[in-house]
Amino acid sequence: MESECVELLPRVFSVLGDAGQTVVDDTCLEKLLDCFRGTTENETELHILQRIPCLTNIIVNVSKQKDIHPNILSFIMKLTGLFAASENYFIQLEDNGIMRHLFGNPKKLGTGAWEEATVRCGWLLGIQNMLQHEAVIEFLYKYDCIDEIIRLQEDPSIFVASTASQLLADILSFSLQHSKHAALGSSSTIQLSNKVTVLHSTNWPDYISPITGHIEDFLKSDITSNVQQALKLLSKVSGTRHPVAVILLWPKIEESVELLLKGDLTGIGQPLAELFLNVSRSVPSEVLELKFWPLLGLLLRSMNQIEALTLASGILKLKNCPQSLRMQAVTTLFQPLNFIIAVTSIQTPEDTVLLDVSSDYRVDIENCLSRKSTCINLLCQILSYLWELLQMSLQTTELPFKALMKSVVTVLRLCIGAAIPITSTVVNISRHLIGCIKVQRGGIDVLGALPQWAAGIEEVDCALTLLHDYVSNPDTDCTVLKKSLQALFRWMSHCIEPVNSHVLEPKLKEFLHGDFMSVMKKRLFDVHWEIRDSTLEFLGQVCFQFKGVESFCQLLGSCGIPHLVLELLSDPESYVRASAITALGKMNYLSPKWQMLPNENSVTAVKVNILSYLLHILNQDTEGFPRRAAIKVLADWLKNSHILSSGELENFIPIILKIGSNDLDWEVKVHTLELAEAFIDRSVSNLSISPCAVLMSNSTGSTQVNVFLQTLCEGHQRSLVHAQLHWQGARNLSAQVFGNKRYSTTAEVQRREANPLLDNKGLPRFSAITVQHIVPGIRQVVQEFREGLQELEKDLDATEHMEKTWESVFNRLEILQFPIHYSWGIVSYLDKVKSTPELRKAYQEIAPLVVRENIRFSQSVPLYNAYKALISENQQLNGIQLRILNSSLRAARHGGVQLNGQTKARFNDIQLQLANHSSKFRCGKKQ
Amino acid sequence: MPEIKVTPLGAGQDVGRSCILVSIGGKNVMLDCGMHMGYNDDRRFPDFSYITQNGRLTEFLDCVIISHFHLDHCGALPYMSEMIGYDGPIYMTHPTKAICPILLEDYRKITVDKKGETNFFTSQMIKDCMKKVVAVHLHQTVQVDDELEIKAYYAGHVLGAAMVLIRVGSESVVYTGDYNMTPDRHLGAAWIDKCRPDLFISESTYATTIRDSKRCRERDFLKKVHDAIERGGKVLIPVFALGRAQELCILLETFWERMNLKAPIYFSTGLTEKANHYYKLFITWTNQKIRKTFVQRNMFEFKHIKAFDRTYADNPGPMVVFATPGMLHAGQSLQIFRKWAGNDKNMVIMPGYCVQGTVGHKILSGQRKLEMEGRQTLEVKMQVEYMSFSAHADAKGIMQLIRQVEPQNVLLVHGEAKKMGFLKEKIEQEFSINCYMPANGETASIVTNPNIPVDISLGLLKGDSSLGPVPDSKKPKLMHGTLIIKDNNLRLVSPEQAVKELGLSEHHLRYTCKVQIQDHHSEQDTLNRIYNHLKNIMKDYPIQHLPDGSVMVESILIKISAMSDDQSTKDVLVSWTYQDEELGSYLITLLKKGLPQSVAL
């Protein structure tokens, strides 16, 4: 914590400690607490307390006051807890009686205060904060606090209740971890299993017994809510830092759990399932008791249908569960779908049924499916669990994918009434499902996740037809339509994967050449903007993905969709306009192939138009989204111009940069920068091929970029530079600007090619950098730095009496310093992590040069004066800038800028010697 | 007993962010999904892990309803739908859906551009989130699923603000969002049906203030601005782009016109154009006056108010600047504030509520030295004024709306605990209904008495009313029927039909009672006398004298027992079926009184 803060604190606390003052704003208390929490991570608690004596004062004072504001009391409790995490301080506070007063017996605080939920919460969190040593637990036991915490689990406020049970879980696992017997075994699993047998409950410390007793009592209780509470607590124990605690507890509770399992499960099924899942997730299976898995199986069998689904999907996600149990879970999860397939299929269901169905389940399922609400609920649950499972790549291979596909398709067909019901059961189910958006959403999601798992030619056919139905159905809900298009995109992309393409591509072609394109056209002019937007997004995605597929390109070019998209550029909804622009941008990737088409003229006309349209939007559109999209598309084109061969774009660059830099929207500006970067990159890549050509382009485009960047850096658009700083990181920008200056000489490019150490465009090319690069490379950057610095100093001297700006000093400095920092940084990093005798030799050779240059830099009087001028002139600098400025000033002073004559020479001498010594010392240590 | 459960994750006894979870009839609905402006990390979003442990919000929640576009009501929406992965429907009104993404974009710009945060939602996320939104019209009943329906009403707080009625079966909840009960210069007052919901969840930002009349406040505001301008100061009015801003613009515009003032008025950011554009688009949502004048002159095109440029802030001389955002937590308003704060001639007028942790909140609570980023401190010398222009209902308005809606229970959110407590007492006293005010994370359970619908067969209704006299509308009438519960529905049918349906044979149950009457006439005559007596008294009833020597009133049979020893005492037997219990006992009491002498034979 910095000294300025420390100075402020006494005053802050005097306000807090004064009961007469009201502090209603609890966000600032929370933030103050955050600040202390941050400090305790870096410094030890005692150290802080010594530095800030008023902390102890406030704790002592507040604990003695009666009528303190609940928010402040709660704050003090949490704060005390934070510092009492240090055992010494805890003991000190307890000796003073403060601990007893604040945390001992809550009733003493006065009932009024205790009635406030925030005070109870503060009390619990305070204890939780200090729970780092055993003294706390002994203290809690001594003052009967544990009973109070147990009671607070039933608190009316959910915040308090959940904190209380979390605290209990923490106490339990903490004390089991730290009890003497547990300390004997280390945490390796073999010893753990020994420990489980060794550690008998009789040896447990006394203070655990209230909690374990409470759990045991509640597990045996007749009242469902009590049982629930105990189970939840146990689940939480298995989620703490020391989850094995639950295994130590297991022998004590096993009997009651077993009894519970065999009894009525209403209301306790869910918490039981959660407990079992948590335990099997957090405890290595070697330690688990043998009876554990059979019990879990029993639970799965005896739960009701909907609750069993949660457990089943949980089991499938476990890594360590036995195969039989996994099979049982699969069965449970699939049974309802199974049932639907069985009743809907016309042939004898034998070949389609995925798994054997036990007859007693059928009744349950049939009941569920016969009522509308349960039917929808059941299907939604299953679908969302399936979707989750499909998202996980591992292990899911065991699922019967073909059957899964079939059943999902059946359900989705029922949802739009495309399936023909034959039996009364199906009529009933389809009546529930028709138009049910909830099930549709879930089903489409699952369908969209399926192509990578099950995609033979039959499935592809089936999925494409179904999705076509959904997309063309006018009743389809906006969200469902969006999901359908996304799913369709996945299936389509699957078809053109190289492994499948020879089989599936004809199928896809057939599909696309059907009436799909006309459906798309209709959808592009839907009354809902959501649908127009989703369709455009889909088209954009497809165009990009299929840019290599000849037939698709031709189809799209000839079907007239590009023209429709162009029309949408004047849509009333700005979101749609933006998506239309993006889609057009993606479509342009196909356009080279359009030239082979008969109606060539119209297409090229469109192409030329697009550019002018985009410029028009960039210039005229009143909303930000379309302008952002337009500039993004332009930047993207420029980046990929080798594919797009869009020669005419280049002529527009000056205009685009001009419009972009004057735009009011910050993101447009950011993307304009990207465009500029792409342009610079391109010019450079041209450079290396033929230097002459560049000199030409240099005079046209690059000067424009130069002007543009200058307006950015030196003009009044500081906010833009900021946006850029935040957005891409400071280095990127300076690299760009720096690069821009350097790129204009061919020598620069060659140099970059020659010495990878100097290539500061992206990440360091460590694999290419060798020791031979170090001396010449560093010498070069030092040389350049020296020249640059002299130039800067000259400029600063010349403008000594004029007002300095941030841009004219620090932006130039950043540009100047970056190459040397970058390259020298790599060298010293290599010296630290991959040192060799050769490297050390090179390092020693070149280091004095760098040190000397550094001394010169820090003692630069013109710069120092410029800093001082900046801070004295009333500049509108923000916090970050001020901090940079202050630290530069400090560095200059520490670097000896104020010294002169002999003292200065002596100082420099010492500096050099010091560098020498440290360098020698390092070499000595390593050799 | 069925219950409605309400758990605020935000807005429970505070004004930070609104996010309220309601469980009603097995459905879970989230009301608003706001962001806390006081924090810069994940704490600004509601912690959804308390709702469902395994984080599958889509399965748990049936829908999300957003009341209006302020970020403390909708700011966490992209986080919830795109980062947490909620996939279900989101409902809001058309104007809200149109304006919400603008404000979210604006906020994103501030956090990502100015503060450099990276872990924040992207433009694409905002768009994808907006695509999940279903826009609703006012007074349109939207069927979320078979059981759950919602309906939006006009709330007047800002353009597109709505109150929602949520109904599941016979249970219903009204959530007001933020609302305003007094029409102002551009928006109308909140209005809702007398829908008698089980629970009425109301905001209570101004639970204890009774605002003085609107006129006074406006005059006060103009005077303050005028004074500051006269002494050469600059006036900063931080506003949200939509809502208050337009009203104050109209106000200043007319004042400038009237007083012939020359000092420039500026309105910052390009948002204004867009805001006015939306006002034009959704003109139907504004109040009548604007709608009328709109035809002649666009109220939103101003003569004196010009667009602001950042360099103007340094111009000498007086000026008035409207700048966004309204809580001085970032952006242009904060920049201008920093420039002007040091001069005691200048003035800042805060026209709305400020959330905890923002600069606006700090200066309103009297703080004079502010710590800005980079450890700079800023001394505030300028005048700080607060004007309650915020279009929330005051205590009077809240009571008025409760009276209008007639709820069974009231629950207060979006207000400070102390003020809420005060209002709660008032509501409980005045309406003698329960009022709840759960804190964040506390659940309020409201027991409801649901109506169970039963079908009555037409036969039963007709059959019962055709008999007997014209039913008296004030007196409850007893009806006999059989309740059949079958296939999840309830039916009330006549016993005969029930018997027939169930294939049972019918048994009749008759009660017979003996009444002794002192009468010396012969049996036949006594019977005649009884007949006449009853005919006199019960004029509307069909009374028959049967040939077998008995009298029949509806289904009740009256006979004279033959075996009587004493001539003067007659045993009269009255027999009735149990359905006619009432009439039977009436006849008995009548007969027990004896026959008056005057009755003819």
DSSP assignment of B160-189, as one string?
A: T-EEEEEEETTEEEEE--SB-SS--SSB--
Chain A residue nearest residue B367, CA to CA: A23
B38:A160 CB<8 A: no
Which of B50, B132, B376 lies closest to A162 in CB terms?
A: B50
Specify which of A556-560, A751-755, B407-411 reaches the highest per-range mean pLDDT: B407-411
Reply yes or no on whether the pLDDT at A742 is more than 60.
no
Residue A160: Cβ within 10 Å count: 24
CA separation for the pair A677, A164 (Å, rounded): 55
B439:A624 CB<8 A: no
- State both tokens at A453: 């798992």
> What secondary structure does DSSP assign to B492-551, as a single string?
EE-HHHHHHHHT------EEEEEEEEE--S-HHHHHHHHHHHHHHH-TTS-EEEETTTEE
CA separation for the pair B90, B69 (Å, rounded): 13
Strand order through the sheet with B234-238:
B305-307, B265-267, B319-323, B234-238, B347-350, B383-386
B132:A159 CB<8 A: no
- State both tokens at B488: 């999840």
pLDDT for res A612: 82
pLDDT averaged over every residue in chain A = 77
CA distance B391 to chain A (A): 23
Answer whether B148's CB lies under 8 Å from B168's CB: yes
Which of A372, A437, A726 lies closest to B146 in CB terms?
A: A372
Answer whether B149's CB lies under 8 Å from B163's CB: no
Chain A residue nearest residue B335, CA to CA: A876
B88 touches chain A (CB under 8 A): yes
B373:A878 CB<8 A: yes
Among B24, B386, B46, B403, which Cα is nearest to B202's? B403
CA atoms within 13 A on the CB side of B303: 11
List of chain B residues whose C-beta atoms are within 8 Å of the C-beta of residue A530 = 131
> Mean pLDDT throughout A228-255?
79
CA distance B358 to chain A (A): 10
- pLDDT tens-digit readout, B23-57: 998 899 999 999 887 787 788 888 888 887 665 78
> Which residues, 6 or more positions from B215, have their beta carbon under 8 angstroms from its beta carbon?
none
pLDDT for res A182: 47
- pLDDT tens-digit readout, A250-290: 777 888 888 888 887 777 888 888 888 888 887 776 666 67
Among A727, A709, A698, which Cα is nearest to A660's? A709
Cα A271 from chain centroid?
30
CA distance B276 to chain A (A): 14
Cα-only R_g, chain A: 36
Q: Which of A87-91, A190-194, A525-529, A837-841 comes out lowest in average pLDDT?
A: A190-194
Residue A287: Cβ within 10 Å count: 17
Reply yes or no on whether the pLDDT at A596 is more than 50.
no
Question: At residue B471, what is the residue type?
Answer: P
| Locus of tokens 């420029």 | A638
The answer to whether the bond into B469 is cis (omega within 30° of 0) is no
pTM > 0.95: yes or no: no
In terms of residues, how long is chain B?
601
> Which carries the bigger pLDDT value, residue A240 or residue A380?
A380
Instruction: Assign A20 a pLDDT band (cuts: 50, 70, 90).
Output: low
B7:A158 CB<8 A: yes
Question: At residue A576, what is the residue type?
Answer: V
Most B-contacting residue of A157, A433, A446, A581 (CB-CB within 10 A), to test interface = A157
> Mean pLDDT throughout A754-783?
83
> What secondary structure does DSSP assign to A876-903, as a single string?
---HHHHHHHHHHHHHHHHTTTT--HHH
> Which carries the bigger pLDDT value, residue A456 or residue B446?
B446
CA separation for the pair A744, B211 (Å, rounded): 70
Among B29, B30, B33, B11, which Cα is nearest to B83's? B33
> Mean pLDDT throughout A533-542?
93
CB burial of residue B486 (10 Å; 0-12, 13-18, 19+) = exposed
> Which carries the bigger pLDDT value, residue B316 or residue A872?
B316
List of chain B residues whose C-beta atoms are within 8 Å of the C-beta of residue A726 = 112-113, 116
Q: What angle do CA A164, A168, A174 make, to 5 degrees?
A: 140
Which of B59, B123, B440 lies closest to A380 in CB terms?
A: B59
List of chain A residues whose C-beta atoms are within 8 Å of the C-beta of residue B92 = none
CA atoms within 13 A on the CB side of A40: 19
Question: At residue B377, what is the residue type?
Answer: T
Among A591, A621, A615, which Cα is nearest to A603's? A591
B105 touches chain A (CB under 8 A): yes
The residues of B carrying an active-site annotation are 203
B597 touches chain A (CB under 8 A): no
User: Which secondary structure element, helix H or strand E, spans residue B322, and what is its range?
Assistant: strand B319-323
Instruction: Assign A582 a pLDDT band (cuts: 50, 70, 90).
Output: very high
Terminal alpha carbon distance of chain A: 40
Answer whether B442's CB lies under 8 Å from B12's CB: yes
Phi, psi of B491 (to 5 degrees): -135, 145
> Which carries the bigger pLDDT value, residue A313 or residue A748?
A313
Question: At residue B6, what is the residue type?
Answer: V
List of chain B residues whose C-beta atoms are within 8 Å of the C-beta of residue A27 = 36, 38-39, 356-357
> Which residues, 6 or more positions from A567, have their beta carbon under 8 angstroms from its beta carbon?
none
Which of B132, B146, B373 lies closest to A879 in CB terms?
A: B373
A479:B131 CB<8 A: yes
In terms of residues, how long is chain A?
927
- State both tokens at A695: 């000199």
A879:B50 CB<8 A: no
Answer whether B195's CB lies under 8 Å from B407's CB: no
Helix A529-545 vs helix A517-524: angle between axes, to the nearest 10 degrees?
Answer: 140
B244 touches chain A (CB under 8 A): no
B2 touches chain A (CB under 8 A): no
Which residue(s) pair with B307 in the sheet?
A: B267
Instruction: Assign A720 a pLDDT band (cuts: 50, 70, 90).
Output: very low
Sign of CA pseudo-dihedral B10, B14, B17, B23: positive
- State both tokens at A100: 């007893």
- State both tokens at A51: 């530095």
Tell me how far CA of residue A693 lies from CA of A697, B233, B422, B467, in angstroms.
Answer: 6, 61, 82, 111
Answer whether A248's CB lies under 8 Å from A182's CB: yes
> Which residues, 6 or more positions from B397, have their beta carbon under 8 angstroms from its beta carbon?
B179, B180, B181, B182
Chain A residue nearest residue B270, CA to CA: A664
SS3 of B1-66: the string is CCEEEEEEEECCCCCCCCEEEEEECCEEEEECCCCCCCCCCHHHCCCHHHCCCCCCHHHHCCEEEC
> What secondary structure does DSSP assign to A661-719, as a single string?
HH-S-HHHHHHHHHHHHHHHHHHHHHHHH-HHHHHHHIIIIIHHHHHHHHHHHHSS-HH
User: Which secondary structure element, helix H or strand E, spans residue A572, and what is its range?
Assistant: none
Which residue(s) pair with B173 in the sheet?
A: B166, B199
B123 touches chain A (CB under 8 A): yes
B296 touches chain A (CB under 8 A): no
pLDDT for res A190: 43
- State both tokens at B31: 């009301």
A117:B441 CB<8 A: yes
CB burial of residue A383 (10 Å; 0-12, 13-18, 19+) = buried
Chain A residue nearest residue B85, CA to CA: A384
Residue ranges in chain B whose pLDDT is less than 70? 53-55, 110, 113-119, 185-186, 210-214, 240-244, 269-281, 288-301, 330, 352-357, 373-375, 388-391, 463-477, 562-566, 599-601
CB burial of residue A193 (10 Å; 0-12, 13-18, 19+) = middle
Phi, psi of B541 (to 5 degrees): -90, 145
